[in-house]
Structure 1
């Protein structure tokens, strides 16, 4: 057990990066009677560096640039090689293993040692590798390098100890598979062909043993020559010469005939009794023209000739289409069964295919039952046992390339019932037309896998909106690609609420139900746009007057000057008719931002939802919007500047660089005595009272009735009016959370001339430099002569090489978090709060007053507004987390899930069941209070609430910035995990004051 005081004493000496604020004591104010002090807090340290060892667990998605395929018919496992040297081993659903060649050379061919748990790989660097699969992680046992010849083809007969290797020079080498060394037996190309033949036959393209005699080896050369070599007698049995180049050869199981595929799109059948000419020549996709000539066809790259007991043989091949027909055709796989010819079109080029048979012995009737087709970006299996040849439903998570991945979220501790219910609902979404048989790749009973991703459920957000007609809608002006692309998600596993933010500045709220429903989707439209005067720009700092109307910071009311008929419209149109929704996640409400003065709405940069409060909050570079999704109303819609109230820590100069001198309490923590106690609060529009924020909302219940709610703001205080436009900026931004927002003078543009934004919005910009996000030089209060204020100013300086175009920026809302906390320093009990983080490193607290009774909650308004509490960090704020005084993570309150469409029980009326994790209920030893962990792009702080004393500060990075940060549980403790733009992953223990990292790994 250690006390925080001991860490404070040794912080500056033990950690150069850790900076303790010397003014914490003075800035903390007078604690409440039950509020703990830093000396009262005891935290047990349990995490050590050994708890943070990085290891690879699982690869999700399709193999990148696949090159070859192999199948073990006994153990029923599959292997896929890639151009980057990777090997993917697949078995039954759940068996998925990835291995990598250290050389990174492309894998040319794979050969299983059937039923022996071993695999041979031939790579582009002319090296053979023998892999051992009889262990948790496959490993290379032996390697054999060919220095003078290039490997072109390999063949390993079933239950044989000899591996045959063909080369580019036409020679065939034999490798002992047990010792993995060359045997010395070499079949030279000049011995294989006739001595009178002077032309080189070309590289070896095929090797196979005769089904009726394993001592006979069939060698196919690229030029069209086929030779059968007697391994015992070391001589040639027969030679076949053909005018067209050979691509592949396939035996009949009796060993009396074989079939070849050629470069002219033909198939030739040869009989061993008469090798002078083929007994049959067919052009499956070529016709005889009127002049008697054959129609030219593409090469048949591979052919498989398989016999069946109960039907005619199967001839399966890829390619061979006529050049005239294949111009607009997709890649095809052809199945010839008797006189029937079936052509299967593929979405991507065919890399390789294999025919799966019941027996591994080549001299038995094959009885094929499936065809495995490896495509460039997909992997399918065709069922041969049904006449229409349906495909199997792929159980592997390989459809990650179906569309670009724009958002990911990880949830570790979910309720135990959520995964089975998602799986059962998702199983009902399966498409029709799939084979009803079991997945044929069913092996892998030993432990190959350390992690597996399975598709549970799929949800398409586009079904909420009407399909735009040609010339209608403004989504095309906002994005050049998919207007429904997902930017971020928020999911509450306990209440099963799901919220999606789209690229067209829309938010969709989904509820989970086991029953289908036929409901109308509620649509709310928010006007959240600002004049160009709000842009922080040096050019405007010299021209704009020092005092301006504070209403310009708030969302504009309807009918403002310059508004056109095309304004006050969202980018997409929500379906107005009742929508039938299947069981699963069902859309309940859509919130959209509107166009204003010809300017598109800025993309949403932050999102949070709380089921217990019934509130949804999102923000962008214009401000913050809070939605009451129980009452279906806009609770708050405020500009970023208005969130400060009178507690704005910056002197935002617009005319003169002169700094106003004023005293502040502490470094950046401002006491709430700067805001009058009768703080003006935002109330729900249903209360009938005018709110003190400037909002304009359209509420559509899809009954073609539009309710317009206009509420206007009153000046918050004199200081707000004096400093609302006092900006002084000299900077640009490079971090993901503070991209410049598109600004300019109000203008009306036509559909064809509308401004276009790329898929990367303010929340997803391209990387430019690894430097701070908030690259702005802002005048801080001059009385705060501390090290942190100097560092803040320095980190926001800009390079002189940056053009003035990048200087314009706004203060964006970068992160939001609902939770039980203390909105003011004088609070004795925790209340519902919304923590707001901005791109300038500012943390704002908004207390929320929520009716406790369920009936009142559905009718009475909710009040919330700025509390005057302002905290500061360097760089954009990324993450909040709350701990009790024992160092345990405090969860946000939530509502227990109940089916909204379930049957009513008259004896048990349906009531909301709320689970609350307040700081006071999660601890007993130290009384009220909790710890707040705030992480920005540059640093992290531990703050003691409600005193707002900054206990510890740690500067995480100076030369780069953080992309993601989160609080994770490890070994029954918690830590801060950070992902840096320079590729480093860091974990920090904040139970020891963030004094030093536990782990730092570069990738």
Structure 2
């Protein structure tokens, strides 16, 4: 019977696991934003695809909206250079260990995996001094079957792409080239800097060496056609499309145009575009002539004395072929981050393939695409690769099921904003075929928003309804403050520098600011700390670092606003409290002209001006709650009235809450403490030395006697192991140490005083204190004088951990909205209510109104983890939409996400470890959605989107089309397959395949909990 009982228990656990697998599954879906640390870029003119390589070995390929492919190299090898092999539908990558890889892009809708076909490791060497194996440049021939590999010793190797990336025996040796050059020019050319095949002529390449020499070499006949001598160090070469002329750029900021057949070999007509004073090197140059005129595009070349810190790309356009300054147009694109590379895009039309369409510029922090067909050369509005971190993200919120009317008004305001400074033409990178399949990927009528707050005081709206993140709208809160008048003028006329050419170009060089990235903030007090958005009425409330709270409402007409702040003093002046932190932001005195869109209606300043730590709006009762480290306030934004003002400070905490110098003054310097310790040590030695001499002599005699006895019996002596005590160290932040800090607000209608539900306001603090207020005389709420919130209960949690989540739930664990009771019929019996209160250490459910504990779970006591993010989500069965359940999902400080039953028994249903515990930025930025998805900052510029729902665990399905006449490569030889949007680590962590937990795959415990383990990248 005992054995039978164990078998029955195990069977029940397996059944439970089978059920859980139909509801829960962790999977990383898509990336939003701009890849961190980009290193190279390439464009496929045939398939119209863009590829970006990064320092950590991530390859990302983009086409039209919905077409994205991702590949991750093992060991996070840096990608140095990328080439598209259009006829194969493949990508060739050079990594920083000099390995060369050929990757296949999926060409069938049934295959959405990028696959590695071949790898060449010939040049991978441990000895960095072998110049014959150090790659300095690469070039692809026009037929895309040969790769020229330039080496540091001046030689060039040839690699056969069609023959499994094998090296050919042919070598273009530097010694052979130097034989055809006169002795007086035979200086040390150095390494191969650049290789360019001559357009329209097979078998000839232009070889540029680092020092003094450019050679036109016929590699089919092993002969030199021409050679050119320069005095400067060569940086780059570029052929004109006619194939008869080329241009070179140098380290002194000059460039020179050459004829391939010219007889003189010296550089005599070089041009210094921003001279005559010394200039920085021109790192790359491009030259093109067509019916539209001549374009010269280059990176760098700025005057050293004046603009050495500028990161620029210059565009020089001559309408006529004659080199006349009257017909020349010059614009210098000014970037706020380092320029990595730039690429021209030609028109996709067959008859217009020599016509420039756009210019792609890749910078370290963003990508900018310039429309060269528009007369003003404006920027394209990015459909992806958005610069999320134009200013560092400080807070984010996900809004589910926004009303269509509100969404359309926000979108229209954003479009009106973009019509001036963005190009109206179609996005030029439009390759690939997107097949939108899977639940949650199709575009439906519901709209979801991701709202981000930034360090410079801006708030940005993003459309997160589909698997792509689309920019919608921006709010500038800095307009309301008198931080910098010049910056306010620029913000009000933000299209000034981006809309096109200015008539007055008195400045030389003619700079034009482009891009969105701005690493500087005029005032750190502008940073957004909290925000809350009502998706039904379109009301936005933000809380800042200096205690400012602003209410925005959407208006369809432009208006003028006169900023006037309402002061709320949380701490009474009688309490002898002196604030030593930063001051309030000065309010702008003049009126502000506001366009249609979100307009401020209320401006509140909290005193002391500490950062806002909690912020919630209730549109049912037209109130906003604001919390800081010192207390909280309840504000009626419709009447601009203070309803509740309460300090949570205790007398013992006043000194630590003053901020600024108050915290520092309580600590002594290290030098002073050390000095005092030595003084006390010397004093104690001098006082005790005399009386301790005799005691020491007696104790030494006893020790020697004991040792002599033990030495007679050496076998009895055992080594004594030191006793170690396991101590769990929890790093506490300033927020954790300040018990008075308000952490969470909640509004609901619940039975507090008696069994009848009434409007209630819940406040949770860092010390585990729960304050509950109820609204008195709600029937006469229209009269402001009768609206009164009264303290009904005050509860202190015994473990005194910070309260971070409160939710009213029904008997099924489903969260109840704040206005649910008002929908009940008068004669209907109120539904039973339970309140779920979660701290960082424990989960508890209480019955209302008697406030008795129903159930609890001690997370920290059992597992040593603390909750950082928590929410309730609704999960559907992956096959049957009629089956659904509500579960509690939370992230701990150890980086693992857990799913528990929301109240009945707090039973763990699923667990997965996907973040390193050291990744504080990723953990603190995570946002859950109520549909079982989430976002977190993978880097400062990228949001990683993930799903915990088995039904919503789909991903983008896309491919490219290869014509039948093109050569294709079989996928049977592919190895190391990586999903286009999901890394292989995520496949291993699926709970479908049970295996060992240490390897990052699923395991089942005795209670039937699915433990998906951890990603291998976290344990490597």
For normalisation by structure 1, the TM-score amounts to 0.67
Query: CA distance change for structure 1 residues 917 and 152 in 2, over 3 Å: closer, same or farther?
Result: farther
Q: Indicate yes or no: 2:409 matched with 1:421.
A: yes
Rounded Cα–Cα distance in structure 1 between residues aligned with 2:415 and 2:348: 32
Query: Residue 344 of structure 2: which of 349, 355, 367 is its match?
Result: 355
Contact 1:162/1:177 (8 A) holds in 2:
yes
Rounded Cα–Cα distance in structure 2 between residues aligned with 1:986 and 1:369: 50
Q: Give the corresponding residue for 1:463.
A: 479
Contact 1:740/1:809 (8 A) holds in 2:
no
Q: Indicate yes or no: 2:367 matched with 1:379.
A: yes
**Alpha-carbon distance, 1:853 to partner:** 5.5
Aligned runs of 1:324-723 on 2, under 5 Å? 324-327=305-308, 329-337=310-318, 338-339=323-324, 340-347=328-335, 348-358=337-347, 366-430=354-418, 432-447=420-435, 451-467=467-483, 481-520=523-562, 523-529=565-571, 555-556=572-573, 560=574, 571-575=584-588, 579-594=592-607, 600-640=608-648
Query: CA distance change for structure 1 residues 464 and 921 in 2, over 3 Å: closer, same or farther?
Result: farther
**Partner SS, residue 103 of structure 1:** helix
Rounded Cα–Cα distance in structure 2 between residues aligned with 1:463 and 1:354: 37
**Partner SS, residue 410 of structure 2:** helix
Q: Give the corresponding residue for 2:494.
A: none
Query: Cα deviation per residue 1:817-857 (whole Å; 9 max; x = unaligned)?
Result: 00111213xx2121111122111223332222253367x34
Q: Indicate yes or no: 2:51 matched with 1:136.
A: no
Contact 2:873/2:889 (8 A) holds in 1:
yes
Query: CA distance change for structure 1 residues 314 and 857 in 2, over 3 Å: closer, same or farther?
Result: same
Q: Indicate yes or no: 2:873 matched with 1:968.
A: yes
Q: Give the corresponding residue for 2:59.
A: 87
Query: Cα deviation per residue 1:35-72 (whole Å; 9 max; x = unaligned)?
Result: xxxxxxxxx99972564433222333332222211112
Rounded Cα–Cα distance in structure 2 between residues aligned with 1:944 and 1:279: 88
The structure where helix makes up a greater share of residues is: 2
Q: Give the corresponding residue for 1:945.
A: 848
Q: Give the corresponding residue for 2:920.
A: none
Q: Give the corresponding residue for 2:302.
A: 321
Contact 1:352/1:375 (8 A) holds in 2:
yes
Contact 1:839/1:876 (8 A) holds in 2:
yes
**Alpha-carbon distance, 1:1001 to partner:** 1.4
Rounded Cα–Cα distance in structure 2 between residues aligned with 1:185 and 1:376: 39
Rounded Cα–Cα distance in structure 2 between residues aligned with 1:457 and 1:802: 37
**Alpha-carbon distance, 1:120 to partner:** 1.4
Contact 1:942/1:990 (8 A) holds in 2:
no
Query: Cα deviation per residue 1:765-792 (whole Å; 9 max; x = unaligned)?
Result: xxxxxxxxxxxxxxxxxxxxxxxxxxxx
Query: CA distance change for structure 1 residues 460 and 324 in 2, over 3 Å: closer, same or farther?
Result: closer
Q: Indicate yes or no: 2:757 matched with 1:830.
A: yes
Rounded Cα–Cα distance in structure 2 between residues aligned with 1:220 and 1:918: 79
Aligned runs of 1:904-919 on 2, under 5 Å? 916=820
Query: Residue 832 of structure 2: which of 923, 929, 936 is its match?
Result: 929
Q: Give the corresponding residue for 1:303.
A: 285
Q: Indicate yes or no: 2:124 matched with 1:147.
A: yes
Contact 1:302/1:318 (8 A) holds in 2:
yes
**Alpha-carbon distance, 1:510 to partner:** 1.4
**Alpha-carbon distance, 1:946 to partner:** 3.0
Q: Give the corresponding residue for 1:126.
A: 98
Rounded Cα–Cα distance in structure 2 between residues aligned with 1:868 and 1:838: 11
Q: Give the corresponding residue for 2:688.
A: none
Query: CA distance change for structure 1 residues 455 and 917 in 2, over 3 Å: closer, same or farther?
Result: farther
Rounded Cα–Cα distance in structure 1 between residues aligned with 2:173 and 2:285: 24
**Alpha-carbon distance, 1:892 to partner:** 2.5
Query: Residue 988 of structure 1: which of 868, 875, 900 is its match?
Result: 900
Contact 2:246/2:259 (8 A) holds in 1:
yes
Query: Residue 165 of structure 1: which of 135, 149, 167 is its match?
Result: 149
For normalisation by structure 2, the TM-score amounts to 0.66
Query: CA distance change for structure 1 residues 192 and 421 in 2, over 3 Å: closer, same or farther?
Result: farther
Query: Residue 770 of structure 2: which of 843, 846, 859 is its match?
Result: 843
The structure where strand makes up a greater share of residues is: 2
Contact 2:855/2:903 (8 A) holds in 1:
no
Contact 1:951/1:993 (8 A) holds in 2:
no
Rounded Cα–Cα distance in structure 2 between residues aligned with 1:800 and 1:584: 45
**Alpha-carbon distance, 1:164 to partner:** 2.4
**Alpha-carbon distance, 1:115 to partner:** 6.2
Rounded Cα–Cα distance in structure 2 between residues aligned with 1:995 and 1:194: 78
Q: Indicate yes or no: 2:792 matched with 1:866.
A: yes
Paired residue total: 746
**Alpha-carbon distance, 1:992 to partner:** 4.6
Aligned runs of 1:748-897 on 2, under 5 Å? 809-824=738-753, 827-852=754-779, 856-858=782-784, 860-868=786-794, 871-872=797-798, 875-893=801-819
Query: Residue 657 of structure 2: which of 739, 742, 745 is its match?
Result: 742
Query: Residue 100 of structure 1: which of 56, 72, 75 is its match?
Result: 72
Contact 1:527/1:568 (8 A) holds in 2:
no
Contact 1:480/1:756 (8 A) holds in 2:
no
Contact 1:626/1:634 (8 A) holds in 2:
yes
Cα-Cα RMSD = 4.0
Query: CA distance change for structure 1 residues 219 and 572 in 2, over 3 Å: closer, same or farther?
Result: closer
Query: Residue 177 of structure 1: which of 158, 161, 164 is its match?
Result: 161
Rounded Cα–Cα distance in structure 2 between residues aligned with 1:469 and 1:820: 46
Query: Cα deviation per residue 1:638-674 (whole Å; 9 max; x = unaligned)?
Result: 2337xxxxxxxxxxxxxxxxxxxxxxxxxxxxxxxxx
Q: Give the corresponding residue for 2:259.
A: 271
Contact 2:813/2:904 (8 A) holds in 1:
no
Structure 2 unaligned runs (5+)? 1-8, 126-132, 442-465, 487-520, 665-726, 877-883, 916-1020
Contact 2:836/2:903 (8 A) holds in 1:
no
Q: Give the corresponding residue for 1:204.
A: 192
Query: CA distance change for structure 1 residues 835 and 426 in 2, over 3 Å: closer, same or farther?
Result: same
Which is bigger in relative contact order (C-alpha 8 A, separation at least 6)?
Answer: 2
Rounded Cα–Cα distance in structure 2 between residues aligned with 1:807 and 1:413: 34
- Stretch moving more, 321-330 or 829-838: 321-330
Structure 1 unaligned runs (5+)? 1-9, 15-43, 289-294, 471-478, 530-554, 595-599, 642-723, 730-738, 745-753, 759-796, 894-915
Contact 1:511/1:587 (8 A) holds in 2:
yes
Rounded Cα–Cα distance in structure 2 between residues aligned with 1:627 and 1:269: 70
Rounded Cα–Cα distance in structure 1 between residues aligned with 2:729 and 2:155: 63
Rounded Cα–Cα distance in structure 2 between residues aligned with 1:602 and 1:227: 67
Query: CA distance change for structure 1 residues 51 and 323 in 2, over 3 Å: closer, same or farther?
Result: same
- Stretch moving more, 812-821 or 233-242: 233-242
Q: Indicate yes or no: 2:50 matched with 1:78.
A: yes
**Partner SS, residue 407 of structure 1:** strand
Query: Cα deviation per residue 1:568-590 (whole Å; 9 max; x = unaligned)?
Result: 99813445665443222121112
**Partner SS, residue 399 of structure 1:** coil
Query: CA distance change for structure 1 residues 365 and 997 in 2, over 3 Å: closer, same or farther?
Result: closer
